[in-house]
Amino acid sequence: MSPPALAGAATYIMTTEQIIIRIIEISLCLYLVRRINSWWGKKSMIDKVIPSESKSEPSKKGLNLIYNFVKKNRKTYATKENLKININRATDSRELFFYFIKKCNELFRSGHDLNYYRKLIYMHRNQGKLQTLIEEEAFIKLIYATLEKFNMNQKGARMVALDDFKASIRSWKNNLVNLYEYKLFELSNIDIIKIKEDLEKVFINLNIMESNRRIVGVSKTLHFLLPDLIMPIDGKYTLPAFFGRNKFAKTPQKEFMDFWYIFNESIDITERLELASSDVDGVNWNTSVPKLIDNAIIGLYKSQEKNRRLKPAPT
Query: What amino acid occupies position 261?
Result: Y
Query: What is 224-244 written as a DSSP string?
Result: HH-TTT-----TTTHHHHHHS
Q: Could you tell me the pLDDT band of residue 66, with boundaries at 50, 70 and 90?
A: very low
pLDDT > 60? residue 94: yes
pLDDT digits (tens, 9 = 90+) for 74-89: 333 334 444 567 888 8
Q: How far apart are CA 81 and CA 242, in angstroms?
A: 9
The confidence score (pLDDT) of residue 34 equals 67
Three-state SS at 56:
coil
For the residues 90-119, what does the mean pLDDT come to?
93
* For the chain, percent of residues with pLDDT exceeding 70: 73
Tell which residue, 131, 126, 232, 211, has the closest CA to residue 179.
131
Per-residue pLDDT of 259-275, as tens digits, reads 999 999 999 999 999 99
Does residue 237 have a pLDDT over 50? yes
156 CB-near residues (< 8 Å, 6+ apart): 211
Average pLDDT, integer, range 150-176: 92
Q: What per-residue confidence (pLDDT) applies to 256?
A: 96
pLDDT bucket at 156, cuts 50 / 70 / 90 = confident
Q: Look at residue 33 in the predicted model and tell me its pLDDT.
A: 64
What's the Cα-to-Cα distance from 60 to each of 53, 57, 67, 215, rounded to whole Å?
A: 11, 9, 11, 46
- Give the model's pLDDT for residue 48: 37
Give Cβ neighbours of residue 192 (< 8 Å, ≥ 6 apart).
264, 267
The phi-psi region of residue 282 (left if phi > 0; otherwise alpha if psi is between -120 and 50; otherwise beta) is: left
Q: Indicate if the pLDDT at residue 72 is higher than 90.
A: no
Mean pLDDT of the chain: 81
pLDDT in tens, 190-233: 999 999 999 999 999 999 999 888 999 999 999 999 999 999 99
* Residue bearing the bigger pLDDT, 104 or 7: 104
**Backbone φ, ψ for residue 26 (5° rounding):** -65, -40
Q: Maximum Cα–Cα distance for the chain, whole Å? A: 113
Residue 5 φ/ψ, nearest 5 degrees: -65, -40
* Residues 219, 226 contacting (CB under 8 angstroms): no
Local confidence band at 49 (pLDDT 50, 70, 90 cut-offs): very low
Query: What digits encode the pLDDT tens for the residues 266-313?
Result: 999 999 999 999 999 999 999 999 999 999 999 999 988 877 766 554
Give the model's confidence band at 40: pLDDT under 50 very low, under 70 low, under 90 confident, else very high.
Answer: low
DSSP state string for 273-308: TT--GGG---STT--SHHHHHHHHHHHHHHHHHHHH
Provide the H-helix boundaries in 43-136.
45-49, 60-72, 80-83, 85-90, 94-107, 112-127, 130-135
Q: Is 209 helix (H, G, I), strand (E, B) or coil?
A: strand
The helix/strand/coil state of 172 is coil
* DSSP-based helix, strand, coil % in the chain, nearest 5: 70, 0, 30
To the nearest 10°, the Cα dihedral for 109, 113, 115, 120? -130
- CA-to-CA distance for 300 and 314, rounded, in angstroms? 24
